[in-house]
Amino acid sequence: MSRPTPNPTPTEQPFYDACQRGELLLQHCNDCQHILFYPRTHCDACQSDSLSWRTASGKGVIATYTVVRRGVSADFPAPYIIALIDLAEGPRMMSQIIDTEPEALSSGLSVMVDFESWSDSITLPVFRLVTGQTP
């Protein structure tokens, strides 16, 4: 087995292409101005199919998190940190927080996006704690 790796649809491809070059893209609805995640063919607020990609700031805060002590498979050596991140632009996404001691974590702390290679063709957004914060 190996780590599950996305097989992007044509709709999703721009998101993954951007990750490869170290950029986080979010879809904006041209009709209702809603900002979406995950990428879709239609806005999940108004169902419009008029969407544009825009670069996100990469800033977010931890909505909630867990330290996984028993990994899902041998490809995920525990411990590792799974979190829901509230992006500055509004959407929430699941990700890993990397290079952090579990004791340093708490909900509400600021994080910044980084990118990690997941396979030859796929790079994924991960997050790091913004330094200088106390839990």
Partner 1 sequence: MTATKCWLRVSLPPSFSVKSDHMKSQALRGEYALVGMAESAVGVVPDKSPRELCVEVTLNAVKDAGLTLSDCDGLITCNAFAEPILYHAEAVAEYLGWQPRHCVTVNTGGGTTFMAINMAIAAIAAGMADTIVVSMADSLRSFMTRDQAMVVQSSSGHPHYEQPYGPTVPAYYALIARAHMDRFGTTEAQFAEAAVSCRAWANQHPNAQKRELITVNDVLQSRPIADPLKVLDCSLVSDGGAAVVITRRERAQEGPHQPIYVLGYGEGHAYEHISQAADLTTSAAVIAGDAAYAAAGLTPDQIDLMQLYDCFTPALLIQLEDLGFCRKGEGGDFLASGVTRPGGSKPLNTHGGMLSHCHPGNPGAMFGLTEAMLQMRGDAQARQLANIQTALCHAQGGIMSSHATLILGVEATL
Give CA–CA dist 60/47, Å, rounded.
Answer: 26
Report angle CA 89, 90, 91 to the nearest 5 degrees.
110
At its nearest, how many Å lie between partner 1 and the CB of residue 94?
4
Q: Which residues bind partner 1 (CB under 8 A)?
A: 1, 3-8, 12, 37-38, 63-73, 75-76, 80, 82-84, 92-96, 102, 107-108, 118, 122, 124
Q: Is 69 helix (H, G, I), strand (E, B) or coil?
A: coil
At its nearest, how many Å lie between partner 1 and the CB of residue 54?
18
- Which CB atom, from 22 or from 108, has the smaller least distance to partner 1? 108
- Which CB atom, from 94 or from 104, has the smaller least distance to partner 1? 94
At its nearest, how many Å lie between partner 1 and the CB of residue 44?
8
Q: Are 131 and 25 in contact (CB under 8 A)?
A: no
At its nearest, how many Å lie between partner 1 and the CB of residue 131?
22
- Which CB atom, from 7 or from 131, has the smaller least distance to partner 1? 7
- Which CB atom, from 1 or from 131, has the smaller least distance to partner 1? 1
Give CA–CA dist 133/112, Å, rounded.
Answer: 13
Exposed, middle or buried: residue 2 (CB in 10 Å: 0-12, 13-18, 19+)?
exposed
